[in-house]
Chains A and B, each alone.
Chain A
């Protein structure tokens, strides 16, 4: 679910880049940010369930890497939401393009982290 949310958020961000009016671009950027917040909320639920099960950094070396990798990624999602908000403020094509590129990199890293941590 988290991956679908992020790739959908990436689609909204990409649509902001090709939007023909600043208002449309702001709406797409807002939608992308909201999905970023939803991603973080689900990540919070996931961490809470791990904590409730007594799983911490020290449970196993896998969980040390799990918390570090997903935690740093979540920090970049927070940074990305702030960046999208900042570029939406001015809504200039060049700044939107740069901000959205950061968001896509966060997306790209998750697509590579997801199978390694959750599926393999």
Chain B
């Protein structure tokens, strides 16, 4: 069972990463740098939702399987983005 402080910490991290991604998008920095950070942030956010919101932190089998699928998806997106 998740605790309230843990859930609020997860929510704050998700919000900060979302705001940082949006700010970076409009920053004018090279697209390869911003795009890579944005995808990295999306990976962290998706992991947090799986582990804390969906409470998979205590279920190692499902957690490992879904995190592996997530890693493959993000790696594919990053490869396609950098190759484009």
Contacts and interface: CB of A to CB of B under 8 A. Distances in A.
Given A115-B38, A116-B77, A120-B38, A4 B18 contact: yes
Interface of B: 1-4, 7-8, 10-11, 14-15, 18-19, 21-22, 25, 34-35, 38-39, 41-42, 45-46, 49-50, 52-55, 73, 77, 81
Contacts of B15: 4, 7-8
A27 to B, nearest CB: 15
B11 A7 contact: yes
Interface stretch (A52-60, A65-73, A79-87, A104-112): A104-112
Contact of A15 (B7, B18, B22, B81): B7
| Main SS at interface, chain A | helix
A49 interface: no
B50 A119 contact: no
Given A3-B18, A115-B21, A115-B39, A18 B46 contact: no
Nearest to B41: A115
| Main SS at interface, chain B | helix
A62 interface: no
Given A111-B46, A119-B22, A18 B2 contact: yes
A119 B49 CA distance: 20
B42 A101 contact: no
B35 A104 contact: no
Interface in A1-60: 3-4, 7-8, 10-11, 13-15, 17-18
A101 B21 CA distance: 25
A117 to B, nearest CB: 11
In the complex, which of the residues A8, A10, A14, A17 has the most CB atoms of chain B within 10 Å of its own CB atom? A14
